[in-house]
Each structure stands twice: as structure tokens, then as C-alpha cells.
A and B are shown apart, each in its own frame.
Chain A
Amino acid sequence: MKTLLLSYCKSRQFKEQLANNRTRLYRIAYSWSHSHDIADDLVQDAMGKALKNYKQLRDHGALNSWLFGILNNCWRDYLRQRHDFDNIDDIVLISHDTPDKHFERQDLSRIIQDHMEQLNIGQRQVISLVDLHGCTYEEVSQILSIPIGTVMSRLSRARKQLAEALIEYKPVNTVHNPKNTLRSVV
């Protein structure tokens, strides 16, 4: 009976944790695919697999990394189906700048997302995991199964490319100046 209760509670706890992570997973999936439909499918697929295999998760502290790892596998499966002969790290999803789309670019978010689309997928995955989810380099390395050095170089190239593309845009209250942070308070 006790075993059953523990098993049941663990299962319930896991489902709750999974539900709590859904928006986070979705945000990452969307940042990779830039499509609500694909992001929905990816997250559903990833959550289904997570539910099916949750007993494989031994360290619940590593839940996020584990989930993002599953999401990454789903994403790779998706890309494999779509691009059988391409190296997925080299794929650049071009943003087709139609007049309609031009009108949609009313806000900075859309502009930034458009520039994110210009990054290759490998870079986009890394920057989204680090900037959106706050993953450490080691976590990203585990999630994407790439060396930490590759994480750093992809992140560096991604940020540099975005910095050059977005130089004319200045979001309000987001500029960080280390000098300004080193002030004394009396």
C-alpha cells in the first residue's frame, strides 16, 4: 500500500511539474520553430514522451534539462522529416519580407524575432536556452549533446549577429552598464 501511494504521488508530482513547465517548453519550442502550430506539436510530443518515460528520470533536480533534451530530440525528428539531406545546424530559415509581414512589424518583439529567424538553428537553440530559460552552458551542452566550447562559440556568434542587426533599436531600460552598477549607496 505504501509503495503504491509513493508511486502514485510521484506520478502526480511529475505531472504537475510537467504542467508547470509547459509554457517554458512552449516558449523555447516557439523560439526554435517560430510557428505556433509546430511549437504546439513539439511540446505535446515532448510532454507525451516525458510522461511515458518519467521513470527514467532519476534526479528530479535535473527535470528541466531532461525535458529540454526531449524537446530537442522532438525538434530534430521534426527537422529530419522536413529536411532529410540537410545538416540541421546549417539551416537558416529565411524570413520572407512580404508587404503584409512588413505591416506586422509594429513592435520590437516582432523585429527581434525576425532577426532570430536569420540565425542558423544551432545558434538559435543555444541562445534561446541561455537567454530565455537561463540554462547554464553545461546544461545546454547536455541538452543539445554538444561540447561546452561549441555552446560558447554558437552563443557568441548568435549574439554578435543580433547585436549588429539590432544596433539601431534601443529597448527601454534594458541597457546594462557595469559602471552604473558599481555605485555606492549611503
Chain B
Amino acid sequence: MKNKSHFSDEFLNAYLDNELTHADKIRLLDAVREDEQLDQRLCQLQRVHNMVQLAYNDVYPTTDSQTHRHKSNSKITRFATAATVLLFLGGLGGWFTHHYFNTQSGLTEIVQELHTNSPASNTPWKLLVQVSNRDVRRFGILMDETERLLKTAAQNNEQLTIQILANAQGIELLKDDQSPTALRIKQLRRQYNNLLLTACGQSLEKLRSQNRPVPKLLEEAHIVQSAIQQVIEKHRLGWTYIKI
């Protein structure tokens, strides 16, 4: 037992990594007490383990991804807010149940972030929807959901305001052209004056600074200073916020 060859490096590593059985641990520790060389080998390996940990201790992601930006208070809060909004949607005239089979995949897939202040059913509901990408399918789902909400609210005499806030690539949504999306937004806007269209001024400015083409926006769209500022401000005012 005093001879170090009794214990391979694999065995010593397994001890350090807590992979040994209790009996093997005892056997090794008994041997370590009597064998200084074995003790040194173990220390050396432990030191390497510690040094590897030390080497990458300060390594952090250099960029912020969308997923990383998902900040929330807690899982419970998230579930509660998600449930609140979905229940609220369900409460708006029953359309949700009616269209459940058509919309469930779209709705659950496109929402990336959601905050609500749990409005009571008799208070006006204000919804801010931020669009940051130019996925046509998402646009379609967003338009479907927006139209249903506005329609149901009107039918039930509910007070509802929806503000669509386009930034980054989502600016495409508000482009004034002959695309089906643009025509549909125009039609919706004509039909419902409680639908607000806003574009992030900073995103437009960024395009200009990069000498990239700046799209002509729908005349119904208002330019706000920045998307982040809008989100903060609306959140402060009690708006429900959804990012897709």
C-alpha cells in the first residue's frame, strides 16, 4: 500500500471528483496517511483542478443575446404573469377558446418576453407589443392576434389600446409598400383607432449612420425616440408588455 503504484492517477482523480465508493475513499485516505509521495500526487492533482477553475473564473459572455436579456423576477412571477395575460385574453369574449386550435402554436412560439401588471377585468387594458425581427410568419401571427383582440374588445365594449412598437429589423413591419402586411396594417389602422403604430427612432438613425436604406414608413406610424425608452415608460404607466 505504501507503494504509489498501487493507486493509479485515474483512481486518484476519481477520488478528487467524488467518483469513488465510500470504501475506496477510506482505503485511499488510509494509504495517504502513511505515504507522503501518494499525498503529494493527490495534492498535485487537486492543485491542477483548482487552477483550471481559476483560469476560467472570469470568463463571461462578451455579447448580450436576446435570450440573455430575458430578465425576470422569478419563475413564479413569470408563470403568474403569463397565466394572467393568457387568462385575460381568454376572458375577452371567448374568442380565444374559439380559435384555440388555430392559434396555440403561434401564440406560444412567438412571445419572447412578457410583463403585466395584472389589470382587473374592469380596467382599460393597454398592451405594448415590441417587434424586433422581420419574420413574416411572426408578423402574420401578430396581425391575427391583434385583429382578434381589437375585434373582441369592440364587440364587448372593452377599453383596449394596442401599441405596436417596431425596432431593429422589426421596422420592416411598418414599411409603406404594397406588401400584404403593410396593406393589412393600414386596413386595421383605418378600422381601429385604438391601434397605435410606433417606430424606434434610434433604429432608423442607426440605419442612416450605416448608410443603409431607411424604409419609408406608413403615414400612420409615429416615430418615438427609442424603443427602450418607450418600454420603460409604458411599463411604468402600467401597460402590459409583450415582446415577440
Query: B interface, by DSSP: helix, strand, loop or mixed?
Result: helix
Nearest CB in chain B: distance from A113 CB, A: 5
Identify which of residues 4-31 in chain A touch chain B, using a CB-to-CB cut-off of 8 Å.
Answer: 4-5, 7-9, 11-13, 15-16, 18-19, 22-23, 26-27, 30-31
- Asked whether A5 lies within 8 Å of B13 as measured between CB atoms, the reply is no
- Asked whether B47 lies within 8 Å of A163 as measured between CB atoms, the reply is yes
- Asked whether B70 lies within 8 Å of A15 as measured between CB atoms, the reply is yes
- Given A4-B100, A12-B79, A159-B9 contact (CB < 8 Å): yes
Other-chain residue from A1, A4, A13 in contact with B75 (beta carbon distance below 8 A): A13
Distance of A153 Cα from B8 Cα, bound (Å): 10
Nearest CB in chain A: distance from B57 CB, A: 7
- Asked whether A7 lies within 8 Å of B108 as measured between CB atoms, the reply is yes
Distance of A177 Cα from B43 Cα, bound (Å): 6
- Tally of contacts, chain A with chain B, CB under 8 A: 163
Nearest-CB residue, chain B, relative to A178: B32
Nearest CB in chain B: distance from A55 CB, A: 11
Distance of A11 Cα from B19 Cα, bound (Å): 34
Other-chain residue from A137, A166, A169 in contact with B19 (beta carbon distance below 8 A): A137
- Asked whether A178 lies within 8 Å of B42 as measured between CB atoms, the reply is yes
Nearest-CB residue, chain B, relative to A51: B67
Residues of chain B with a CB closer than 8 A to A43's CB: 61, 65
Distance of A36 Cα from B58 Cα, bound (Å): 13
**Interchain Cβ contacts under 8 Å between A and B, 13 examples:** A4-B107, A8-B82, A9-B82, A9-B83, A16-B70, A19-B67, A109-B56, A112-B54, A112-B55, A128-B56, A156-B8, A170-B47, A176-B50
Which A residues form the contact surface with B (CB < 8 A)?
A: 1, 3-5, 7-9, 11-13, 15-16, 18-19, 22-23, 26-27, 30-31, 36, 39-40, 43-44, 47, 51, 108-109, 112-113, 116, 127-128, 130-132, 136-137, 152-153, 155-156, 159-160, 162-163, 166-167, 169-171, 174-179, 182
